[in-house]
A and B are shown apart, each in its own frame.
Chain A
């Protein structure tokens, strides 16, 4: 019996997805890479929160269930989608204030942030004012798409933790 191509693709996708998370095993360690990593009570998206861990913290992998890991740091423990963790400590500079600053720009209030003054002057001096205006439009247009809309895209298309 021949395997239908669509089923073959699904099998391949399943294999590759599993291999992408193969680095994590129970007893090993991982690092948080978000400013705040939300741990869940169950290994599924939308489950109740069981705690939060800050950026670049080392966590112990207690259990692996498919693409989900149960991790702990001190008294805090819970489930997290494996791709929300890194097997290496985030290679950011020690200036974590800068990281926080960048993240704050993803909020709605920061969406109206104008282009850096130095960059505006740079564009003018390079006779690239039009390109500067295009960039400004890009920043506004892309920020108009909210994180919730990205989450909805992931859900509708069964991507990320919604696979």
Chain B
């Protein structure tokens, strides 16, 4: 059992090294090889028995990675006010109303949304601009709230899948994998978990399809409970589908739009925004969408 744990710790440390490489750490600065699994076991230790305080810490570190990758935050008080009023109104009736819920908009043209453990929810500017009514915004936020109430990311950490998320990178960089930056141990000790493994998984493959469909379902239920239109998510997805889904820029970390639509009831579209005629498209043509992140 002890050998297993040590191996697992070693595996975590190795895969985390690869993750550092993926996220831009200068591996030329790597000065130490893994000479002991003691430090690695510290990383492992933190992945079991995650309570609310640890969850929040995981969430904040994950949020740093999300903000860093998606162009920073839109620092606009009106936008912050809207996403937080709609988001917290819904979170109040969620399964975890006592979580410290906070919402923000990422300064990226891509169409996506993310949640970090502990109540931190992000929606890109590209998606926010399409959420022209609170019904549509609530649909997107409800999906992300569901990921947090269902503890989807926390379960990834608990199951050690955060490490497996970068296994492919480990293979590709096997020559470097034998080394580890001293910072890794320091950061791992500080945080007690493999944040890079988690964010690598969230940014690339995302959650598995079943988890996403459950979040769509639970988000819809929460929207209904709070009093928002049940067809919000369906309307958002239909607009994306109508204007051509671009997998590089639209919900890249989620299952294909057509598959998500199949799992949603055929709810009527919510009322359109008063200022915009019903036939006005919610999104710009896909050809106008930039490819990749804005920064």
Residue in contact with A125 in the complex, picked from B95, B118, B186, B229, CB distance below 8 Å: B186
Contact in complex: A131, B104 (CB < 8 Å): no
B95 touches which of A86, A98, A123, A145 (Cβ 8 Å)? A86
Number of A-B contacts (CB under 8 A): 171
Interface string of B221-262 (1 = CB under 8 A from A): 100111111100000000000000000000000000000000
The proximity string for A residues 2-35 relative to B, scoring 1 for CB distances below 8 Å and 0 otherwise, is: 0000101100110011011100000000000111
B73 at the interface (CB under 8 A from A): yes
Q: Which of B49, B73, B221 contacts A20 (CB 8 A)?
A: B221
In the complex, which of the residues B25, B53, B103, B268 contacts A142, with contact meaning CB atoms closer than 8 Å?
Answer: B103
What are the residues of chain A within 8 A of B8 when measuring CB–CB? none
Q: Would A160 and B89 count as touching, CB distance under 8 A?
A: yes
The interface residues of chain A lying within 8 Å CB-to-CB of B86 are: 153
Residue total for A at the interface (Cβ-Cβ under 8 A): 62
Q: Are A131 and B72 CB-contacts (below 8 A) given A20-B224, A145-B88, A160-B226?
A: yes
A134 and B72 contact, CB distance less than 8 A: yes
Q: Which of A43-51, A71-79, A100-108 contacts B (4 or more CB under 8 A)?
A: A100-108
**Nearest chain A residue, comparing its CB with the CB of B87:** A142
Taking beta carbons and an 8 Å cutoff, which residues of B are in contact with A? 23-25, 49-53, 56-57, 60-61, 63-65, 67-68, 72-73, 75, 77, 80-81, 84-86, 88-89, 92-93, 95-100, 102-104, 118, 120, 134, 151, 183, 186-187, 190-191, 195, 221, 224-230, 267-268, 271
16 pairs of residues in contact across A and B, judged by CB atoms under 8 Å:
A12-B230, A13-B230, A20-B221, A99-B52, A102-B98, A102-B100, A103-B98, A122-B61, A126-B23, A130-B72, A135-B64, A142-B80, A143-B102, A150-B88, A150-B89, A154-B92
